Amino acid sequence: METGPTGADRIAFLGFGEAAQAFLEGWRSRPEFAARVAAYDVKTDSPDARVRDAKGKDYAAANVEGGRSAPAALADAPLVFSVVTADQAEAAALAALPGLGKGALFFDCNSCAPQTKARSAARVEAAGGRYVDAAVMSPVHPRLHRTPILVSGPHAEAAAAALVALDMAAKVHAGPVGSSSAVKMIRSVMIKGLEALACECALAGRAAGVDEVVFATLDDTFPGFDWKKRAAYMMERVMTHGVRRAAEMREVALTVDGLGLDAAMSRGAADWQQRIGELALRAADGDPSDYRDLADRILSALDSHGETK
């Protein structure tokens, strides 16, 4: 069978949310991209018709084939990208195995602990696939398919070549499955932990009426950081993606625990991410660039849910 310039005539996604859509948008910005793209997202099986319809519209807008099941979406695809939430990554891999082609590269791009990825790798390899530990190292916007990715495991060189053929910013991180994920997870101790700290600081500051002074002193201590602007950005991320980030931080905690350390900070960050994410507030309903507006709306929602004292 003839293949396009990407080296693959068919690409499949497990999960079709922000990351998958960003990668696809980037690939299709290149005239030479000609691969057929299929996807399966569990939201198409939701009991809520609105959720099912919304995901169907995502498929249509992106011109992808919506698989009736995970195995159906993967059929005949030499490249498979798993981009689901961290808490569903292992289950998604297991569900997809009946459709995985012999020798297909299975890119596990999910934010999971090394031990979680090792379990998934064993199942994928036993099914005849080639498992790749892929760590997406920054937000997918604005860089889309050029977002930096580290790949590890026994198929890392072949995986990197396939990603480079897709014009992706891939780099081999030497080591077994879990090596790239260890980098991502330990980095998230700081990145996602800082988001949670920014939320707690801003909320407490607003509740006490001292936020302006607090951020002024932080700017004095860390010149050039612009704490108000950064706090607004981080709070928006937690409001929009808090539940997904909480799942990642629980995997971060597993990583830290597995190293014989106490992951108390990561578990605390997961709690804040989950609590704020579950409020389902839309940052765009107010001023997402103003931490005060975001903090006040979060505080009001927490109060209405009985989560403030």
CATH number reported for the structural domain that contains residue 273 in this entry = 1.10.1040.10
| Euclidean distance between CA atoms 252 and 270, whole angstroms | 9
134 touches 173 (CB < 8 A): no
What tens digit of pLDDT does each residue of 10-63 get?
999 999 999 999 999 999 999 999 999 999 999 999 999 999 999 999 999 999
- pLDDT recorded at residue 307: 76
What secondary structure letter does DSSP report for 107? E
pLDDT (0 to 100) of residue 122: 98
Number of separate domains in the chain: 2
Which residues neighbour 101 within 8 Å (Cβ) at sequence distance 6 or greater? 74, 75, 76, 77, 78, 128, 129
Q: At CA 113, angle to CA 277 and CA 24, rounded to 5? A: 65
Cβ atoms of 214 and 205 closer than 8 Å: yes
Furthest-apart CA atoms within the chain: distance in Å: 67
131, 160, 176: which is the final residue of a domain? 176
One domain for residues 216 and 120 = no
Assess if residue 2 is contained within a domain: no
Which residues of the chain, if any, have pLDDT below 50? 1-6
Residues for the chain: how many in total? Answer: 309
- Do residues 201 and 213 touch, judged by C-beta distance below 8 A? no
- Cis peptide, bond prior to residue 223, ω within 30 of zero: no
On whether both 164 and 42 belong to a single domain, the answer is yes
Looking at the structure, tell me whether residues 162 and 16 fall in a common domain.
yes
pLDDT at 8: 81
| CATH classification of the domain holding 23 | 3.40.50.720
> What pLDDT shows up at residue 306?
83
pLDDT at residue number 1 = 27
Q: Which residue has the tokens 């507030």?
A: 281
**Residue that is last in its domain, among 131, 161, 176:** 176
pTM: 0.92
- Is residue 163 located within the same domain as residue 204? no
CA 157 to CA 184: how far, in whole Å?
19
CA-based radius of gyration for the chain: 20
Domain range spanning residue 33? 10-176
